[in-house]
Amino acid sequence: MTALTLKDVNKSFGDVHVLKDISLDVEDGEFVVFVGPSGCGKSTLLRVIAGLEDASSGEVRIADELVNLTPPSKRGIAMVFQSYALYPHLNVRGNMTLALKQEGQSKTVIEERVAKASRMLDLDAYLDRYPSELSGGQRQRVAIARAIVREPKLFLFDEPLSNLDAALRANTRIEIANLHKQLGGSMIYVTHDQTEAMTLADKIVVLRDGRVEQVGSPMELYNNPVNQFVAGFLGSPSMNFLPAGILNEGDNRTLGIRPEDFILDQNGALSARVSHVEKLGSDTNVIAQVNQHQITARLFGQHEIDEGQNLQLSFKPQSAYHFDANGARLP
Of all residues in the chain, the percent with pLDDT exceeding 90 is 92
> What type of residue sits at position 88?
P
Q: Cα–Cα distance between 81 and 139 in angstroms, integer?
A: 11
Mean pLDDT for the stretch of residues 236-250:
96
Q: What is the DSSP string of 178-205?
A: HHHHHH--EEEEE-S-HHHHHHH-SEEE
Q: Cα–Cα distance between 60 and 114 in angstroms, integer?
A: 30
> Is residue 133 classed as helix, strand or coil in its secondary structure?
helix
Q: What are the domain boundaries of the chain?
A: 2-230, 238-330
Q: Which CATH architecture has domain 2-230?
A: 3-Layer(aba) Sandwich (3.40)
Tens-digit pLDDT profile for residues 248-271: 999 999 999 999 999 999 999 999
At 124, the pLDDT band (50, 70, 90 cuts) reads: very high
**Average pLDDT over the chain, rounded to an integer:** 95
pTM of the model: 0.92
Tens-digit pLDDT profile for residues 81-112: 888 889 999 999 999 999 999 999 999 999 99
- Quick check: 31 and 218 in contact, CB under 8 A? no
Strand bridging mode 2-13 / 263-264:
unpaired
Mean pLDDT for the stretch of residues 37-46:
96
Question: What CA–CA distances, in Å, run from 230 to 194, 223, 243, 256, 259?
Answer: 12, 10, 18, 12, 16
At 168, the pLDDT band (50, 70, 90 cuts) reads: confident
Q: Which residue has the higher pLDDT, 222 or 137?
A: 222
> What type of residue sits at position 111?
E
Q: What CATH number matches the domain at 238-330, 3.40.1160.10, 2.40.50.140, 2.30.42.10, 3.40.50.300? A: 2.40.50.140
Of all residues in the chain, the percent with pLDDT exceeding 70 is 100
The C-alpha angle 168, 144, 183, rounded to 5 degrees, equals: 110
State residue 225's pLDDT score: 98
Q: Cα–Cα distance between 185 and 115 in angstroms, integer?
A: 19
Q: pLDDT at residue 130 above 90? A: yes
Name every residue whose Cβ is closer than 8 Å to that of residue 31 and which is 6 or more positions away in sequence.
180, 186, 187, 189, 200, 201, 202, 203
